[in-house]
Each structure stands twice: as C-alpha cells, then as structure tokens.
Amino acid sequence: MAEEFPGWHGTTIIGVRKGGKVVIAGDGQVSLGQTVIKGTARKVRRLAPGGHEIIAGFAGSTADAFTLLERLEAKLEATPGQLQRACVELAKDWRTDKYLQKLEAMLIVSDGSGLYVVTGAGDVLEPEHDVTAIGSGGNYALAAGRAMMDGDMDAEDIARKAMSIAADICVYTNGNLTVETLDG
C-alpha cells in the first residue's frame, strides 16, 4: 500500500466587527504533514479594486486562495462598492465552474461594514454575532472571540486575543499575526 502524500495544513483566520471597525487577523504558519514549512506566511491582505478598500483573509491552498482573490477583485471591479454582490457572484462561479470547483480555500472578506465568509460550496455567510473564523484553528478562535464580544475590548484586541488562544490549542496555528483593520 502506497503511503499518501501528507496534506497541507495550517492557518487560522478571524474576522471581528465591533465599534465601527472590522478587523481580519491571520497567523503565519504553513505546515506539511507534521512539519512547519513556514512561520511567516501573509494570509491577510488589503485589496483596493476600483478604489474601494477591502480586506481579505484566506485559509487553504495559497495558490487557490490567490486565484479566488483575483476573481473577487474582478467581480468588485464589475460591481464597484458592492462587496456582497461580488461575493455572491464569486460563490456562484466557484460552485459551477469546473476549474474553480477544484480549488481548496475559504475566504473572509470585509469592506468595513459587511463581513462575509465565502466558500466553495456556494455559501456567502454573514456572521450572526459579528465574529467569524476559518481554518484549522477557526473553531477555537471563533469560540474565544464570541466569548469576548460583550466586554470592553475593541475589535483588534478581541481578534488578537482570540488568535492567541487558538495558537495555544491548534498545532497548525502560530502567534505570528497579520492584522488588517477597516473603519465601518
């Protein structure tokens, strides 16, 4: 029986909306099987299609995520200032296009007011409690973030603390963060 090639693992991305700000934060770890390949990957990016600032974080295959980010930028250029519509159009293409269907990644995107998770299953989800997370440590970060939402911490502090908690629990998440913020 041939040994299977170990899968790529890694990343935790969190999006938090609170107090007129949206923060997307992500760790920098990329792992192959049980080996850390890189600890400083940048999985949260700032985009500016058509002059409208967008922040995006991705979990999954880096090449696949970049393909999706390029497609999202094209959708945003076709529908300037309409992030939700662009996300829905991207999700439709992702679900129906034979090439895109093979992509293995998820996105969290925001324009400062909307906050969305976009998946290859055709979903465009807006979090109910203004916190969302994806990736290998996503559930840990989500639980921690939700627990802190009612306190006095601002969006960035919640994102940073939730990522720290996820990094303490998930072996595929580290504490090397990239954090991007937009005002609502």
pLDDT interval class at 6 (50, 70, 90) = very low
The reply to whether 3 falls in a domain is: no
| pLDDT tens-place string over residues 116-125 | 999 888 899 9
Q: Which CATH number is 65's domain given? A: 3.60.20.10
pTM for the whole structure: 0.92
Range of the domain at 51: 8-170
Using a pLDDT cut of 70, give the percent of the chain over it.
94
Numbers of helices and strands, H then E, in the chain:
4, 12
The reply to whether 178 falls in a domain is: no
- For residue 110, the model assigns a pLDDT of 97
Number of domains in the chain: 1
Q: Which residues are catalytic?
A: 11
Mean pLDDT, the chain, integer: 90
Q: How far is CA 73 from the centre of its chain?
A: 15
The reply to whether 184 falls in a domain is: no
Query: Which residues, 6+ apart, have CB-to-CB distance to 71 below 8 Å?
Result: 90, 93, 94, 100
Cα–Cα distance for residue pair 116/125, rounded to 1 Å: 5
Using a pLDDT cut of 90, give the percent of the chain over it.
66
- For residue 9, the model assigns a pLDDT of 55
The reply to whether 57 falls in a domain is: yes
- Region of poorest pLDDT, from 60-64, 90-94, 110-114: 60-64
